[in-house]
Structure 1
Amino acid sequence: MTTRASAFVIEPQGSYSLAASARFLWGFKPATYQGPREADHLHLAFNGARGPLGVCLRESKGRVEGEVHGGDAEQARRQVARILSLDLDGSGYDEIGSRDKVVGRLQTEYRGLRPVLWVDPYEAACWAVISTRISMVQAAGMKERLAAELGDSVEMHGEQQRIFPSPEKLLANGQRLAAFRGLFGRKPEYLLGIARAALDGKLNADRLRSLPAEQAIEQMKQLGGIGQFGAELIVLRGAGEPDFLPSGERRLLGAIASFYGLPDPPPRLEIEALAEKWRPFRTWVCVLLRASAGS
């Protein structure tokens, strides 16, 4: 069913490019991006409080304009702002490039790129479980099949956009999840536990962002199937914590070693010293470094 569209506008504070966000999503396999591949045009679809939401985004005169299909415009605006890291004033991020020549060069090369986050911490947590001990391509395919078989969809411009199953949908399909091809071991059990935690409010992005990052990460490690890497993913790329230095992402370490002429892997103390210049956007700089390394 086609629903009447509503609209919103976001005015970025600091440098931003919707085209840079779109290019990032095109190359990010876990996103399983379904929308148009045009500069300054991006489609997002996610679960809203009142059902599935679709948002068609365009950039005009420095503003991000959203056309909402299927739900509340204000909720969609808040969600999109967090996903595209537009809920923060990025002016201070622009200034980091003047303190660190490597960052400055990459900011010029990837002009306007901010972290593009998971739809929410819940979906980030599910990805952490799904992707364990399989390749990213396999995990992306499984995430897409879960959306197609158990999730909702929303129509935008005559096309159906599939949405990853909501917590309610996962819990209602527990038996199907247990038999789902490729979800081996305790993964179905872990996914159901994540769904319950989401419904209990434990994966609320605002709640996680209100906590010190270390505390939020420790809380996420209490979820079944979530270790340090997954917990950091949930808090940094799910909730959108902007200023944290990940503990040991292999691709990030390789990028730091390459750009700064350090041993591979670089010593933790040297990384921490470098990262002091990146405050209060250490997460953003790490995303930029990883993007530059093609990851």
Structure 2
Amino acid sequence: MPAVTLTPAGPFSLASGIRFLEGFGPSNHHPAADGILRLAFPADDGTSVVSAAVRQEVRADGGTGTVRADFTVHPGTPDAAKSVKAVNAEAAARQAVRAQLARVLSLDVDATGFTGLATDPVVAGLMADYPGLRPVCFHSPYEAAAWAIIGNRIRMTQAAAIKARIAHQHGHRVHIAGRTLHAFPTPTVLRTLTHVPGLTDIKIQRLHALAEAALDGTLDAPHLRALPADYALAELRALPGIGPFSAELILIRGAGHPDVFPRHEPRVHKSIATAYGLRAPSTDDVTPLARIADRWKPYRSWVAFLLRVHAQDTPRPGPTCHGSPPPS
């Protein structure tokens, strides 16, 4: 089985990422006790599926270990398989898988400067609570967009069940490291579905449109991250059924953009206000919160992610973080 290795630049803990996925509904993740992250997902090419078993080296000195992923690429069609053999594209496939896995685990970002944000006591507390945790992203902007459509105006548990059922009934089944997983359908498959229990006709139509957008490159992660964030968000909002909240989800957690302040994420706003001892934020003006987030550059998405995780882990009435705001 081919493999790729990823060397984290800065702190990273795969174990922390696995623990996060245990409570992340869209992932439908059922962890094993062996420390292996098993993944199955549509590849960025829109037709094939990747299965991978991801492990992190345990270093005796306690340093950040190298990440290794043993993987298999499952071509979407016999013609695709012949094409791969014809052009001897094994090296290209390995490079593509490596890039996608790095993005999913936020290992495509140099985090050597992230610990420098610990001069902010709030951020320092989050780092202490979640050592080595980086955002674990959707497998692609396409899957993030599909989740946004499926989950619109229904409960997360209901949406997660529908997404899992779609994967079981229409996705590629793979065996990886002793377990069976079902990948979410590729765009070429998703655009053929005409009936999905639990989804309205308009949602199915929107999923078809997203599948076409994925195939024509509109949802290409490198393309979205190369654009100024406002431009990328505007492109995403032009897609059927994608509003401001969903556009940010796709860019931040689908394309893995590390430095976007989520202006339409009320739970994050509440977490920031609570952590920094501010009054409840106004939904009409998040400028004061955005100013605080500017201190987190170039990792605004990452700190917002940690605040969201902290809020979920903290019993109500609300999250409390460490320290007080740093001087401006």
The question of a shared fold, defined as TM-score above 0.5 by the shorter chain, is answered with: yes
The Cα of 1:244 is off from its aligned counterpart by: 1.0
Of the candidates 150, 161, 176, which is equivalent to residue 170 of structure 2?
150
2:49–2:186 Cα contact (<8 Å) kept = no
2:192–2:208 Cα contact (<8 Å) kept = no
Which stretches of structure 1, 4 residues or longer, exceed 4 Å deviation after superposition?
A: none
1:43–1:57 Cα contact (<8 Å) kept = yes
The one-letter amino acid of 1:44's match is L
Match of 1:84 in 2: 105
Match of 1:227 in 2: 243
Residues 265 and 37 of structure 1, relative CA distance in 2, 3 Å threshold: farther
2:171–2:184 Cα contact (<8 Å) kept = yes
> Which range moves more in the overlay, 129-138 or 55-64?
55-64
Equivalent residue of 2:39, what SS? strand
1:69–1:155 Cα contact (<8 Å) kept = no
The Cα of 1:35 is off from its aligned counterpart by: 4.5
Larger Rg: 2
The Cα of 1:126 is off from its aligned counterpart by: 0.5
Residues 37 and 234 of structure 1, relative CA distance in 2, 3 Å threshold: farther
Aligned CA RMSD, in angstroms, stands at 1.5
Match of 1:75 in 2: 96
Match of 2:38 in 1: 43
What do the CA deviations read for 1:94-143 (whole angstroms, capped 9, x no partner)? Answer: 11112x11001110110001111100000000111100010000000000
TM-score (normalised: structure 1): 0.92
1:26–1:37 Cα contact (<8 Å) kept = no
> Which range moves more in the overlay, 239-248 or 261-270?
261-270
The one-letter amino acid of 1:97's match is A
Which sections of structure 2, spanning at least 5 residues, go unmatched?
Answer: 60-64, 75-92, 314-328
Of the candidates 53, 63, 68, which is equivalent to residue 66 of structure 2?
63
Alpha-carbon distance between aligned partners in 1 of 2:179 and 2:286, rounded to the nearest angstrom:
47
Alpha-carbon distance between aligned partners in 2 of 1:227 and 1:129, rounded to the nearest angstrom:
10
Alpha-carbon distance between aligned partners in 2 of 1:218 and 1:70, rounded to the nearest angstrom:
33
Match of 1:163 in 2: 183
TM-score (normalised: structure 2): 0.83
The one-letter amino acid of 1:165's match is P
Match of 1:32 in 2: 28
1:125–1:194 Cα contact (<8 Å) kept = yes
In the alignment, is residue 10 of structure 1 matched against residue 26 of structure 2?
no
The Cα of 1:36 is off from its aligned counterpart by: 2.1
In the alignment, is residue 189 of structure 1 matched against residue 209 of structure 2?
no
In the alignment, is residue 261 of structure 1 matched against residue 262 of structure 2?
no
2:17–2:133 Cα contact (<8 Å) kept = yes
Equivalent residue of 1:217, what SS? helix
In the alignment, is residue 211 of structure 1 matched against residue 227 of structure 2?
yes
Which sections of structure 1, spanning at least 5 residues, go unmatched?
Answer: none
Count of matched residue pairs: 285
